[in-house]
Each structure stands twice: as C-alpha cells, then as structure tokens.
Chains A and B, each alone.
Chain A
C-alpha cells in the first residue's frame, strides 16, 4: 500500500541551530502539505504545494521557515534558526490532483528544541 514517507522520525536540536525535514508523497500525488502539530492540538497548515508551486504559505513563519519542492515530487521543510517554541510534530500529507478528497498523512517528524 502506498504511503507518505518522512525522515527523520525524531530530531533533537539546540536553539539557533538549523534543521531540515524531508517528505516523499504518494506516487502521483500532485498536492503536498506541511502541517505543524503541537501536543494536544490539531494539525495546522504551514504550506501547500501544487506540483512545484506554492499554493498557500500564509501561515508559514517566513523569517525562519522555508519549504521547497523543486521537481514537484519530494519536499524539504527547513527551520533556521530553530526556537524553543518550534518543538512539535511536523506532518507531511499528500492528495491527488484536482481532488477534494482525503489527504494522506505521513508518520511525522517529532522535533525537540533544547
């Protein structure tokens, strides 16, 4: 069964360091999302891609966060510099093109900033 892949699964870093997360969506899924989920809350959208283009990054803290999907397949989310408040689960999801159907989520990357 096709799945969304994410790595690493866990990341511990110190404040002010740079971190990067990788996501490989389900094959053929043109739409890719990055979410942040703080413990005890629901996921919140950070950025949405359609192929290699950003569709919505209105909630992405652009002073420290960046995201790219250069070839329209896998994607990288970067934080530089990391802050204590960035500790959370970072989830990647993908969806078929031109579909209003469900998004499929990866296992997430648990980030701890010390």
Chain B
C-alpha cells in the first residue's frame, strides 16, 4: 500500500532562514512525485513534478530533489509570502488510473 509521510508537521522560520521539508514515500513503482502549495481555504497549487532519483527542479526560492525513498523541498531565504502548507503526493504504476496519494503536509510559517 502506498504511504507518504511528511515532516515536520509544522515549521516556523525567521525571514531569510533557509530550511528543508521532507517527504518520505513507499510505493510499488514510482511514476511521479508531486509538490503542491496550499494557502488556507484554497485549493492546492502545483509546484513541481519529479520522476526519477537524482532529479532536481527549482522555482524562485524553492528547490525540490528526489531520491529512491524521499524527496526534499529546500526553501532558500524564505519570505513571509512563502507561508503555506506544502503537500507532497505520489503516483504509482500499481495504483493505476493516475491517482495521486497525498501526505498530510507541512505547515510553514515565515516570520518577518
């Protein structure tokens, strides 16, 4: 059965204080790993897709990396507007139907 565990559950950073969010996964054949950002009361907003170990993608202050067991979302010099919940989701070949299996998210707060 697919499993996704995100840590920490919550993270408070000072503005400019870099850190990383972790997503550990167990799937039978990873098709893709997805990162989304979700603001309170809104739908998830797509950030990145990673398909194979060693792959990296960047967008502004965010960088996502992937290994065979986990993914990291690195946040460099965060700003208050980066405050949100960051969701990780996996898509496996076994699950089929291209479904996404989500973790519970990391709630990030960036303090000015």
Contact = CB atoms under 8 A, between A and B. Distances in A.
A104 B45 CA distance: 7
Interface stretch (A14-22, A62-70, A74-82, A106-114): A106-114
A30 to B, nearest CB: 11
Interface residues of A, number: 26
B43 A107 contact: yes
B99 interface: yes
Contacts of B96: 56
B98 A45 contact: no
A40 B104 contact: yes
B59 to A, nearest CB: 13
A112 B66 CA distance: 38
Contacts of B49: 101-102
B22 interface: no
Interface in A23-54: 31, 33, 40-45, 48
Contacts of B42: 107-108
A102 B45 CA distance: 10
A103 interface: yes
A12 interface: no
Contacts of A45: 99-100
Contacts of B45: 105
Nearest to A107: B43
Interface string B4-20: 10000000000000000
A72 B36 CA distance: 26
B104 A100 contact: no
Nearest to B105: A42
A52 to B, nearest CB: 16
Nearest 9 interchain pairs by C-beta: A42-B102, A105-B43, A102-B46, A56-B97, A105-B44, A108-B43, A107-B43, A55-B97, A42-B104
Given A45-B99, A91-B44, 7 more contacts: A41-B105, A42-B102, A56-B97, A56-B99, A102-B34, A105-B36, A105-B44
